[in-house]
Amino acid sequence: MQTVTDTLQPEIMAGVLTGTVYSPLPDRVREHQAELVFPAFHYSLSAPVVEMFMVADSGQSTVKIALDEAVTMICELKGKRLNGREKMDVSVSFENAADRARASFVAATLQCLLWLAGPMKLRIPALELDLEVEFIAPLEEVNQTMHIRHVAYRLMVIERAFDRKLTRSLLFFDADVDRIAFVYHAIVDRSFVWPFFQAQFPFPANEQSLDILKDADRPSVRRLNVAHYEADVLGVSLALGRAIVTIENGVIVNLEEIGRELGTLDGHEFPALIKSLTGAATYEFPDAPRLSETKWDKRIEEFLALDRQLDEAIFQAANQLAAQSLADLNEEEKAEVTARPQFD
């Protein structure tokens, strides 16, 4: 079974904690700045309002805010004026004009901020709009969106290092996520340990290859040079250059065949099947493309700087559930509800 990492949730809802909206709003407004303030994260951002319209006498208005070149945040405001003040609900969705990693990263970051940073303020000073809003979502949706953000950033790194546009769709399977992580580590870490079970490596039938038969009958460290390593990411083959694969506790699976092939010493190529008894190998990619040292633009740098706060916020939310799952019980009851079932 493969697990799918879903696309972003289409819409998130919030109740307005405090705020006022002065009606009537202009039918269409351009070139005003919206300000999104997240006090708990000590972070705020400004972005242009690209469109705003209201349905006459309905109390419904829509504000579109351009967060990034391909990402628009759509705020639907629904409310009625009561005692001179607006009682409103706000829903937010994101329009993603390009199925690209950057757009997903930007939209997912904003969505996670709305969910994890506590009450936030939405201000459009030119329109005298000033709302304090708190968005709440099921934690599994937040977790999923954090994962999309994580994978989207890694894709951005890969796109930048290879100067290639990769993404058509951000619907990932676990296998895609693994391949993206592998190439990301090759670019950023250069040397890393990765699950390795069994793989074929090509060898020429010559005297140099006789080394492979050393200690062939027992597990040992197998260090293999791969001249050209290619990895597939979302259907695109990416050249990572030379690779050195070090397999601890490596054993040769097709020893008999290798002995036969090597015996010819005629230079022809044959496959050696090697497996790791520990299920891991160290990969080194000395020639893999590097991430340029130029910083990302301001928006992305700012969003990356939120990593620790977002990570900590979601961890704390989950950890609170873990703690709460035993919080009301005494020690004896805790032992009882956590005891493993006995069937005999």
Q: Interacting stretch for other proteins, rule CB under 8 A, among 44-52, 72-80, 136-144, 290-298?
A: 136-144
Q: Residue 100 CB, nearest distance to other proteins (Å)?
A: 18
Q: Does 332 bind other proteins (CB under 8 A)?
A: no
Q: Does 189 bind other proteins (CB under 8 A)?
A: no
Q: Residue 240 CB, nearest distance to other proteins (Å)?
A: 20
Q: Does 216 bind other proteins (CB under 8 A)?
A: no
Residue 143's CB is within 10 A of a number of other CB atoms, namely 15
Is the CB of residue 305 less than 8 Å from the CB of residue 295?
A: no
Choose, by CB under 8 A, the member of 166, 205, 272, 314 that binds other proteins.
314
Residue nearer to other proteins on the CB measure, 24 or 343: 343
Residue nearer to other proteins on the CB measure, 215 or 311: 311
Choose, by CB under 8 A, the member of 131, 151, 166, 258 that binds other proteins.
151
Is the CB of residue 73 less than 8 Å from the CB of residue 12?
A: no
Residue nearer to other proteins on the CB measure, 124 or 314: 314
d(CA 316, CA 322) in angstroms, rounded, equals 10
Q: Does 304 bind other proteins (CB under 8 A)?
A: no
d(CA 238, CA 314) in angstroms, rounded, equals 33
Residue nearer to other proteins on the CB measure, 209 or 246: 246
Q: Does 171 bind other proteins (CB under 8 A)?
A: no
Write out the two tokens for 60: 């419904």
Length of the chain, in residues: 344
Pairing assessment for the beta strands 236-252 and 85-96 based on DSSP bridges = unpaired
Of 48, 99, 33, 34, nearest in space to 70 by CA: 99
Q: Provide the 3-class DSSP secondary structure of residue 82.
A: strand
Q: Residue 97 CB, nearest distance to other proteins (Å)?
A: 24
Report phi then psi at 126, rounded to 5: -60, -25
Write out the two tokens for 18: 């405090």
Q: Does 138 bind other proteins (CB under 8 A)?
A: yes
The burial of 257, by beta-carbon neighbours within 10 Å (0-12 exposed, 13-18 middle, 19 or more buried), is given as middle
The mark string for 217-256 relative to other proteins (x by CB under 8 A, - otherwise) is ----------------------------------------
d(CA 182, CA 188) in angstroms, rounded, equals 10
Residues that bind other proteins (CB under 8 A): 1, 3, 138-140, 143-144, 146-147, 149-151, 174, 178, 195, 197-198, 275-280, 311, 314-315, 318-319, 321-329, 333-334, 336-341, 343-344
